[in-house]
Amino acid sequence: MDFEYTFWFLLQLLKSPRTAYRQTTFNKQTKNQWARDDPAMVVVLSGLVAAAALAYCAALGGGVLGTLWAVLNAVLVDFLLGGMAIATACWFLANRYLRTAGHSHAVEQSVEWMYAFDVHCNSFFPMFLVLYVGQFFLLPLVLTQGFAAALVANLLYAVGLAYYHYMNFQGYSALPFLERTEVFLFPIGLIAVGLPLCIVTGFNPARFTLGFYFE
């Protein structure tokens, strides 16, 4: 597993997503597949999610069993199983509706499921920094009652989720045989519509989400 390359790739996702996704073309040219063949990204992200879950448990309590449950749930359900579900949906959408019409002399291409999961992993990292790391440092504010807490929490979650879908769009738009990939930006519109509604009603996504793990 090439961890040095993985951390370089994560940095590029923050600095220049297009530069990072140029590596997919390199993979296709050298290995005849769009997806990575190195599991280092999954290992690194799983470790980061586990470390974040431990930090939340240390800050909010939960005991030994509660800590174990929170870590396993964060890694296995939130990151892996949730990511597999999203990757499968995007993989199906891209292959069923977004592929360009092939020519008789061209080799037909399709989105690999592993590439769809790679895109999820790439999109998850910036969201992780916002909703796991950023939220952790804002816990004294976002877990309180009141309008200010709900406002900050909603803005935080809107930015994190919108960033995820923007990076998702970048991943699929990097494939030359897909068209109309802007459909992956549509959830950002729903987030923009839902944001003021959540703020007006006083809904606090931080309290709601963390309430699932902690009392």
pLDDT tens digits for range 70-82: 899 999 999 999 9
25: in domain: no
32: in domain: no
Q: Which pLDDT does position 104 carry in this prediction? A: 44
114: in domain: yes
161: in domain: yes
Least confident range from 13-17, 24-28, 95-99: namely 24-28
22: in domain: no
Quickly list DSSP for 138-154.
THHHHTSSSHHHHHHHH
Q: Which pLDDT does position 119 carry in this prediction? A: 94
Instruction: Work out the average pLDDT over 82-107.
Output: 83
What range does the domain containing 74 cover? 39-213
> Domain tally for the chain?
1
Per-residue confidence at 109, pLDDT binned at 50, 70, 90?
confident
- Among candidate residues 156, 155, 164, the one with its CA nearest the CA of residue 184: 164
Cβ neighbours around 177 below 10 Å, total? 16
Q: Which pLDDT does position 105 carry in this prediction? A: 45
Q: Which pLDDT does position 107 carry in this prediction? A: 61
pLDDT tens digits for range 28-82: 777 778 878 888 999 999 999 999 999 999 988 878 888 898 899 999 999 999 9
Q: Give me the helix-helix angle, 113-128 and 17-31, nearest 10°.
A: 160
1: in domain: no
Q: Is the pLDDT of residue 5 over 90?
A: no
- Among candidate residues 28, 48, 45, 46, the one with its CA nearest the CA of residue 36: 28
Instruction: Work out the average pLDDT over 164-172.
Output: 94
202: in domain: yes
